[in-house]
Amino acid sequence: MNELALMGGSPQIPYELPSVKNTSGRDVGEEELRLVTEVVKSGNMGFLYGAKIKQFQQEWAEKFKVDTAVAVSSGTASLHTAMIFLNIGPGDEVLVPAITDMGTIIAVLSENATPVFVDVDLHTQNMDPKDIEHRITERTKAIIPVHLYGFPCDMDPIMDIARKHKLFVVEDCCQAHLTEYKGRLVGTIGDVGCFSFQQSKHMTTGDGGMVITNRDEICGRKLQHCADKGWPREKYRDHLFLAPNYHMTELQAAVGIAQFRKLDDFIERRRKSATYLSDLLKGLNGVVPPLEVEWARNTYYEYALTIEPKQFKVSNQVLARALTAEGVQTAPGYLPYPIYMYEVIKNKVQSFDVDLCPVANQACQSMLFIPWNEKLTDQHVEDIAAAIRKVLMYYSK
Ligand SMILES: Cc1ncc(COP(=O)(O)O)c(C=O)c1O
């Protein structure tokens, strides 16, 4: 067997794979430039007077078949806007998964509400519906299912529990653009859907986000006002409640429109290359590729490969380092440990315990997280598969 690059051998992939850090892995070009140029030439780049943000919101709302889409400055801003919209405040509890981006938690804490952590499914790492109900108290106001890595949460049981306990559902779709659950786009199943357009997402505006709902004024608040200082612009300097300024700019919206028009194609390309990799990994001991099932359309934000730690002589951390040395930039899972274990969150968790969510703990040691993008060709995928085989077979027990 060839010597591992980690031990001084030659890397399986001696060139740079396409990356979301630049145009090698991002399809950004002429159309984005044309629309951004229009904005610059117009002399108006801000939220107040431009047409691009309105157009971006309108095209998004049409695609998702929702009444309202509000473009904002980030995914975190979209989630915080949703909290304000639903009037979540001090004393309220919000159920969140133990594995997610910090932005999900920051949104809850920003309104002085308390995040309550729910365990996850070992394979998908999405919120486990079976672990929700016993975490509900009389203070619980909302659930935030996070559709991780492009794969949808099991929304039917989550919606049943939410209806039974009269809870709002905010879908965190920051990693799940055009992901479907039983034929429905995620973001349209709960009360509010939140998206991120940060550089690594399925489409990007550099940074940015979108919030959607079919229930504007559900809490007597308009979604738009929740990202605009509580300001009903048709009135002279009135402010109905406290809210931040989370405007997207016209420049970002120009890029967003161009990117959004290509999103279906991006998703097809991501799906084609990811399912090809899963085919190539068939028969490899100790790994379970991302789920492909008839009730879900996985859009592969990243390629999340579950491993069975007992089958290997070393941890997922060492496996990730070895794969990176072979030329596949791999992380040992999405998070090193559940998000409630971060120092900045620990003291905000009621009755903190390392094993608050034991499956999440296990899941963090059972994943190899391989970055994905729309520019991966069959050749790239074949090289990635060869690198994975080389490393995993070397360390196989
Ligand atoms: C699941 C999830 N939620 C929230 C966020 C926050 O989005 P942003 O980084 O755009 O603020 C992200 C993005 O990294 C994410 O992946």
Q: How far apart are CA 240 and CA 100, in angstroms?
A: 32
Helices (H) and strands (E) in the chain, counts: 11, 13
- Residue ID of nearest Cα to ligand 1 atom 14: 101
Q: What token pair was written down for 223?
A: 């979604």
Q: How far apart are CA 344 and CA 340, in angstroms?
A: 9
Element (H, E) at 202: none
pLDDT attached to residue 86: 97
pLDDT attached to residue 71: 98
Residue 174 CB–ligand 1 contact under 6 Å: yes
CATH 3.90.1150.10 positions along the chain are 263-395
**Closest C-alpha among 202, 196, 210 to residue 267:** 202
pLDDT attached to residue 43: 96
Residue 175 CB–ligand 1 contact under 6 Å: yes
pLDDT attached to residue 1: 60
Fold of 263-395: Aspartate Aminotransferase, domain 1 (3.90.1150)
pLDDT attached to residue 385: 98
Q: What token pair was written down for 315?
A: 């941890």
**Longest alpha-carbon distance in the chain:** 74
Residue 209 CB–ligand 1 contact under 6 Å: yes
Residue 252 CB–ligand 1 contact under 6 Å: no
Residue 121 CB–ligand 1 contact under 6 Å: no
Residues of the chain with pLDDT under 70: 1
Residue 179 CB–ligand 1 contact under 6 Å: no
pLDDT attached to residue 217: 85
Q: Give the residue ranges of DSSP H helices in the chain.
A: 30-42, 52-64, 75-85, 102-110, 155-164, 223-226, 250-280, 316-325, 343-346, 358-363, 378-395
Q: How far apart are CA 239 and CA 241, in angstroms?
A: 6
Contacts of 386 (CB under 8 A, 6+ apart): 12
Residue 104 CB–ligand 1 contact under 6 Å: yes
Fold of 30-118+125-257: Aspartate Aminotransferase; domain 2 (3.40.640)
Q: How far is the centre of ligand 1, averaged over its atoms, from the C-alpha of 249 (Å)?
A: 19
Q: How far apart are CA 197 and CA 190, in angstroms?
A: 20
Q: How far is the centre of ligand 1, averaged over its atoms, from the C-alpha of 108 (Å)?
A: 13
pLDDT per residue as tens digits for the range 132-146: 999 999 999 999 999
Residue 172 CB–ligand 1 contact under 6 Å: yes
Q: How far is the centre of ligand 1, averaged over its atoms, from the C-alpha of 53 (Å)?
A: 20
pLDDT attached to residue 11: 97
Q: How far is the centre of ligand 1, averaged over its atoms, from the C-alpha of 239 (Å)?
A: 28
CATH 3.40.640.10 positions along the chain are 30-118+125-257
Q: Give the residue ranges of DSSP H helices in 183-342.
A: 223-226, 250-280, 316-325
Class of residue 48 by CB neighbours under 10 A (exposed 0-12, middle 13-18, buried 19+) = exposed
Residue 371 CB–ligand 1 contact under 6 Å: no
